[in-house]
Structure 1
């Protein structure tokens, strides 16, 4: 059996490749990357695959039994056709199964909704492909908060517009474990899984970070308008809007969803503190 992973040079793609090779060996895993050199360090066969180029995937998916389609990072309006290029090439190459990394979120009410909406369209395309399929909807990654820790410490607080909203955080290592099981076990075919941990508030997130890092952070809520202005100034219009939309979604409950992680992975999702400790030790 040969399993291909798209966006293998990215953080989620490479985490999935590493988990897969642990379970089935390097010879059974193929990485696909827009720039193959960036994925060479994974020590597996790497094939070229640019989401904008259908013919890349007609070649890259030859001899592949299952493909893990990592959602692209382009603007929402571009993603649908990019993902279709992979789905159509999978059909042409008689790939048996496709697993898609989608996202938890609201389709209508926030600035992040266009991203969620484009993912829902790809979910539909995957379901209508005629292939065996499984879809994971990823929770928000915990990693960016940990990468931002120096700023939090400098400011003495975590500041955003999520308020008391709860978020089912996850991490790339947790997702990699779940997606590996979803790829390898047919019992997951035809299922859509919410892949997140126990939903927590921003105050609870601050508590977990304080425990792990011995910090003294508090959570400080601000208005959606103030937070969007701050993020756009720091990150630019596009990314600032997206980030503000994510926290707006947390505030309205879009990320407070029941987790299907245990069904997908066959084990409990790690707690917030456990996830942070795993990432600290990497």
Structure 2
């Protein structure tokens, strides 16, 4: 999601269709697709959500066994920035980590009971202020949230990245502000155990790699 050369959303549809066809031709029997959460309208991130929803439909129509995981936002990436500053306001956000996602996807891949299901994969939704407090306690980061307007955050992201990616990232946090990431979690059904609690188990994240 952070790659500055990310393709436009409509290109991903054909790319994914080619991958589905290649999998079918190779005799693959099951597809596990990691999709995204978010609103399909109302922000600059919405075209990416729409693209993912189309791929979900293509996966379901593939004739193969399938399972879909709509992933929460990776919490790992905040460690590199050293502070929480964005346009999400008081919106609740569904977060996860790469290691938890890998754990859930392994179960989704190997368990036939998951076939035909779409899961929301994340922990309990939290605000940016709570996230900042946890990160401050765990990593020594600034333990407060610096709220920005959507417009100011978009301008900052565009200046640091490129216009396309800056708008996309700003759109994610606009979605958080608007409640698009305040979702129930299906993690326990997918993984066979609950997602770790941010309140009780945040210390387990101390060894997360820094994702720049």
Given the two structures, how large is their TM-score scaled by the length of structure 2?
Answer: 0.91
1:218 lines up with 2:144 in the alignment = yes
* Moved beyond 3 Å, runs of 4+: 273-279
Question: Does 73-82 or 108-117 show the bigger shift?
Answer: 73-82
Where does the alignment leave 5 or more consecutive residues of structure 2 unmatched?
Answer: 1-5
1:268 lines up with 2:194 in the alignment = yes
**Alignment match, 1:107:** 40
**8 Å Cα contact 2:75-2:95 kept in structure 1:** yes
**8 Å Cα contact 2:187-2:194 kept in structure 1:** yes
2: CA distance, partners of 1:141 / 1:274: 18
Aligned counterpart in structure 1 of residue 50 of structure 2, from 117, 142, 157: 117
**8 Å Cα contact 1:212-1:273 kept in structure 2:** no
Which of these two proteins has the greater Rg computed from alpha carbons? Answer: 1
Where does the alignment leave 5 or more consecutive residues of structure 1 unmatched?
Answer: 1-72, 153-157
C-alpha RMSD of matched pairs (Å): 2.0
The structure with higher relative contact order (CA 8 Å, sep 6+) is: 2
Distance 1:125 1:204, change over 3 A: same
Aligned pairs for 1:185-204 within 5 A:
185-204=111-130
Aligned pairs for 1:139-154 within 5 A:
139-149=72-82, 152=83
Distance 1:275 1:87, change over 3 A: farther
Aligned counterpart in structure 2 of residue 183 of structure 1, from 92, 101, 109: 109
**8 Å Cα contact 1:171-1:275 kept in structure 2:** no
**8 Å Cα contact 1:160-1:227 kept in structure 2:** yes
2: CA distance, partners of 1:100 / 1:123: 8
Distance 1:206 1:129, change over 3 A: same
Given the two structures, how large is their TM-score scaled by the length of structure 1?
Answer: 0.69
Deviation of the 1:276 alpha carbon: 5.0
Deviation of the 1:221 alpha carbon: 1.6
**Alignment match, 2:17:** 84
2: CA distance, partners of 1:74 / 1:193: 25
- Name the count of aligned residue pairs: 206
Aligned pairs for 1:149-188 within 5 A:
149=82, 152=83, 158-188=84-114
**Alignment match, 2:131:** 205
Distance 1:78 1:274, change over 3 A: farther
2: CA distance, partners of 1:160 / 1:95: 42
2: CA distance, partners of 1:189 / 1:221: 41
Partner deviation per Cα, 1:229-264 (whole Å, 9 max, x = no partner): 111111121111111011001001111100000000
Deviation of the 1:95 alpha carbon: 1.4
1:247 lines up with 2:173 in the alignment = yes
Partner deviation per Cα, 1:161-200 (whole Å, 9 max, x = no partner): 1001000100100000000000000000000000011000
